[in-house]
Every structure is written in structure tokens, then in C-alpha cells.
């Protein structure tokens, strides 16, 4: 019997994401009492934080060569001494270099008032879609049904078999598209079944 080994590529540059989180912590305006926010979708990741940029700075300023003006210099100094950052003022350049090294697009910075958001686009070749799975194999073969979100979906269905996918997404804090994809995998694997119509039907779990 031959074994098939699947080698996965992380869809986002790890070093870039790590550096973006460090930047968010160093430049966050903690007086606003707003935590760092990270949202991950199928092909994009957002990292945002409350911050006040120096007067006249724009998203273009951030992407170009600029002086180092950390909003929290003491935090920046701690990160530097701990070895988490090499030097001040090179964070965004390191993020871009990491994305290029992976083959992914450069990040996009978006300014919303006193909020800075960095958007990472996933490396498309690293995204596993149904079309990339050989027909003689199911997506369940890759352990797609063992992740934490799938287990949460099953747990919700046990207690709320009539729940809709939209309600499920809201309860689990994700998107309807993600829930729909996971539940499709569960249906194809025979783990769940829909009985009745969309409006008055319910879900059955096959343990």
C-alpha cells in the first residue's frame, strides 16, 4: 500500500503576521481601551489597532521609507531588548519582504480615523479548494473534519438542530461562507443530514 503525503504551505507569511502583531502592540493607543483585533477569513486576514499617526502621515507614508515614531516607545524598547524586533522603523519593510518571500501580495494598509488596519491576501496556491482534491479522495482524508470549528458546529447542532447557517456563523463568530463550507464537508462525509426544507427543517447528526 502506498502512502500519499500532503505538504501544506501556510497561506500567510508567518514572519509578516508576527511582525504586524508586534507593530499593532507597539503603536496601539491603549488609552482607548480597544484591544488588537484579528480577523481571519478564507483568503484574507485583517489585523487592526487603535492608533494616532503623526500629523500628515498617510497609508502611503507607512508603505514608504519613514522615520521611526512608535506611539509607545517604552513598549518598543521592551520588544527590542527581548529580541522580538531588530530595530525601530523597519517593521513594515520586514512585513513586505516576508510576503514577497512567500510569493504573496504585499499587505495593504487602510486608515479609518484613529484605526489602522493591515490586510493580508492569502497565497492563492496554498488555499485548498474542492477542485484541488483528487476525485478518489474526500476532503475528510486531509483531516478537515477534525478541526476545532467543525467540532463547535457539531456541538451547536446537537443543541439547536433547527439553527440556520447564518445564525450558526453569528453564534460562532465567523462568516456564513466559512460555516457553509464546513457543513458541506460534513454532509459529504455523511456526518450530518438535513431533514425538511430550509425554513422548517432541521439537522441530524450521524455519530
Do 100 and 30 belong to one domain? Answer: yes
Rg (CA), the chain: 21
Quote helix, strand, coil % in the chain, to nearest 5. Answer: 45, 15, 40
| pLDDT on residue 1 | 43
| pLDDT on residue 120 | 94
Does any domain span residue 46?
yes
Contact 175, 169 (CB under 8 A): yes
Do 33 and 98 belong to one domain? Answer: yes
C-alpha span between 22 and 57 (Å, rounded): 20
Do 114 and 25 belong to one domain? Answer: yes
Residue 39's CATH number: 3.30.565.60
Q: Which domain holds residue 84?
A: 14-125
Do 112 and 196 belong to one domain? Answer: no
Do 20 and 118 belong to one domain? Answer: yes
Do 51 and 144 belong to one domain? Answer: no
| pLDDT on residue 145 | 57
| pLDDT on residue 43 | 86
- Could you say which residues of the chain have pLDDT below 50? 1-7, 132-143
Tens-digit pLDDT profile for residues 8-32: 568 899 999 999 999 999 989 999 8
Tens-digit pLDDT profile for residues 74-100: 998 998 888 888 766 678 888 999 999
Of 104, 125, 146, the residue at which a domain comes to its end is: 125
pTM: 0.56
Does any domain span residue 136?
yes
C-alpha span between 91 and 153 (Å, rounded): 38
Do 56 and 108 belong to one domain? Answer: yes
Do 138 and 98 belong to one domain? Answer: no
Amino acid at each position: 500500500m502506498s502512502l500519499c503525503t500532503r505538504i501544506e504551505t501556510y497561506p500567510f507569511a508567518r514572519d509578516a503576521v508576527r511582525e504586524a502583531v508586534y507593530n499593532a502592540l507597539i503603536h496601539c493607543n491603549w488609552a482607548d481601551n480597544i484591544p488588537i483585533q484579528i480577523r481571519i477569513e478564507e483568503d484574507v486576514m485583517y489585523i487592526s489597532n487603535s492608533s494616532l499617526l503623526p500629523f500628515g502621515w498617510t497609508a502611503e507614508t507607512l508603505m514608504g521609507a519613514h522615520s521611526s515614531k512608535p506611539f509607545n516607545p517604552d513598549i518598543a524598547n521592551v520588544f527590542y531588548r527581548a529580541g522580538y524586533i531588530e530595530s525601530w522603523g523597519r517593521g513594515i519593510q520586514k512585513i513586505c519582504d516576508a510576503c514577497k518571500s512567500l510569493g504573496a501580495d504585499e499587505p495593504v494598509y487602510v486608515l479609518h480615523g484613529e484605526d489602522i488596519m493591515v490586510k493580508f491576501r492569502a497565497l492563492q496556491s496554498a488555499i485548498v479548494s474542492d477542485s484541488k482534491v483528487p476525485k478518489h479522495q474526500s476532503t475528510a482524508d486531509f483531516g478537515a473534519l477534525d478541526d476545532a470549528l467543525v467540532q463547535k458546529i457539531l456541538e451547536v447542532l446537537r443543541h439547536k438542530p433547527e439553527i440556520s447557517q447564518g445564525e450558526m456563523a453569528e453564534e460562532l463568530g465567523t462568516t456564513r461562507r466559512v460555516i457553509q463550507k464546513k457543513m458541506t464537508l460534513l454532509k459529504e462525509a455523511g456526518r450530518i443530514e438535513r431533514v425538511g426544507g430550509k425554513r422548517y427543517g432541521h439537522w441530524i447528526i450521524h455519530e
